[in-house]
Amino acid sequence: MDFRFSDEQLNFQSSLRKALEKECTAEAVRAAWETESGRSKQRWAQLAELGVLGLLVPEVHGGLGMSERDVVLVLEELGRAALPEPVLETAAVGAPLLRELGGPLADTWLPKVAGGDAILTVGHPVNPFVADAHVADLLLLPHQDELHAVPREQATLVRQPCSDPSRRLFRVDWTPRAATLAASGEAAQRMLAVALDRAALACAAQQLGVAQQMLDLGVRYACERQQFDRAIGSFQAIKHHLANVAVRIEYARPVVYRAACAVADGVPTRAVDVSHAKVTACDAATCAAKTVHQVHGAMGYTWECDLHIWMKRAWALEVTWGTNAWHRARVAAAVLDGNGPWATFGYSAPGLP
């Protein structure tokens, strides 16, 4: 029983953080808002070089062959930097989905993914829209009980403007064909289910970084901003707000890290563990957004103040890959109506480890 990350995992995280502090500043995020695609090819190439895009790609396909345990801290850093590029869709969800599909699809696409030469995106019934379909080379899309791999040229995209100027969401119109069929029946359902869990876990991990960044912004502002001849951070009204955010983040972290283990190991409680992580991390992030916004006063209501970069990301991640209500309902169905309540570590429901 050891909840700690390895030195290698922590070193990877800190080198990524340093790289993103240079390459993905608030100014850089804002600059991407103004471009047609909203995405930076240069940053994508750097992420490939750092190994981020091939983390879950098997070594035989040119990746690092790692697991969700190794990805969770990486995603946290992407949230902290508010990275606009589709690492979640490509590296955290699309790549392992292709790995599971195997065959020519995996052989063709995975080396390109690891090398930064292909972008993936994934559709799912919980999401009415598909993120980053405009830059994706291959779209993995569900249709009834089938999973299809659709080249972008074969789909029509209708963009849906979003609150987060970094978001690129699309309605995807497409026609299933025999040539695009990748899996069907139970196998396809199983793959879509685990894809959802990987994606929800990835949202939760990013939310940790998003929430921490907002808390840091709030603390910095409270130390700088003077009213009544003193820093507003010296007032208990402000302190207690920010302390509440610190509690939320502190308690969300191990929940997300455990969910990463649950997905990596495919344990029977995987779905509930992931929903737990998504709900807890989203609650922490939206609490941080609301609180830090209040701490900033009118300044936080402006476009100019960087805070909204992360506020809007927090709101977006909360409603994608299953809303909090969806995930809580999934927990309730398992725990209240199913074979729960079990208790982590202590004692378990029949049939659970």
Partner 1 sequence: MDLSYTPAQQAFRQEVRSWLQAHVPKIPLASFDTAAGFEAHRAWERTLSTGRWSAVNWPVEYGGRGVNLLEWLIFEEEYYRAGAPGRVNQNGIFLLGPTLMEFGTPEQKARFLPRMACGDDIWAQGWSEPNAGSDMAAIRATARADGDHYVLNGQKTWASRGAFADWLFGIFRTDPNSERHHGLTFILVPLKGPGVTVRPIAQLDGETGFAEVFFDDARVALENRLGPEHKGWKVAMATAGFERGLMLRSPARYQNTARKLVELYRECAATADPCLRDAVTRAWLNAETYTLNTYWTVSRLMAGGSIGAEASLNKIFWSEMDLHMHETALALLGPRAELERGAPDAGNVGDWLDGFLFALAGPIYAGTNEIQRNVISERLLNLPKG
Contacts of 23 (CB under 8 A, 6+ apart): 42, 43, 46
Task: Please choose, out of 126-134, 178-186, 310-318, 326-334, the segment that lies near partner 1 by the rule CB under 8 A.
Answer: 326-334
Q: Is 347 in the site for partner 1 (CB under 8 A)?
A: yes
C-alpha 75/C-alpha 239 separation (Å) is 29
Q: How far is the CB of 96 from partner 1 (least distance, A)?
A: 18
Alpha helices (runs of H) in 131-235, residue ranges in sequence order: 185-224
C-alpha 213/C-alpha 207 separation (Å) is 10
Q: Is 55 in the site for partner 1 (CB under 8 A)?
A: no
C-alpha 309/C-alpha 336 separation (Å) is 38
Number of neighbours of residue 4 by Cβ within 10 angstroms:
8
- The CA dihedral of 224, 225, 229, 235, to the nearest 10 degrees, is -90
**How far from the centroid of its chain's Cα atoms is residue 99's Cα?**
19
Supply 197's token pair: 């869990």
Residues 99-158 that bind partner 1 (CB under 8 A): none
Q: How many residues line the site for partner 1 (CB under 8 A)?
A: 49
Contact letters for partner 1, residues 65-104 (x by CB under 8 A): ----x-----------------------------------
Cα-based distances in Å from 90 to 116, 176, 234, 239: 10, 21, 44, 40
Q: How far is the CB of 313 from partner 1 (least distance, A)?
A: 22
Choose, by CB under 8 A, the member of 15, 159, 230, 352 that binds partner 1. Answer: 230
Q: How far is the CB of 265 from partner 1 (least distance, A)?
A: 8
Sheet holding 169-173, edge to edge: 130-131, 169-173, 156-160
Nearer to partner 1, 101 or 259 (CB): 259
Q: 346: helix, coil or strand?
A: coil
Contact letters for partner 1, residues 209-228 (x by CB under 8 A): ------x---x--xx-----
Beta partners for 138? 120, 151
Nearer to partner 1, 1 or 298 (CB): 1
Residues 279-318 that bind partner 1 (CB under 8 A): 279-280
Nearer to partner 1, 45 or 349 (CB): 349
Supply 50's token pair: 């750092």
Choose, by CB under 8 A, the member of 13, 181, 328, 348 that binds partner 1. Answer: 328
Interacting residue ranges for partner 1, rule: CB under 8 A? 1-5, 69, 215, 219, 222-223, 230-231, 233-236, 238-240, 242-244, 246-247, 250-255, 257-258, 260-261, 276, 279-280, 328, 331-332, 335-336, 340-341, 343-347
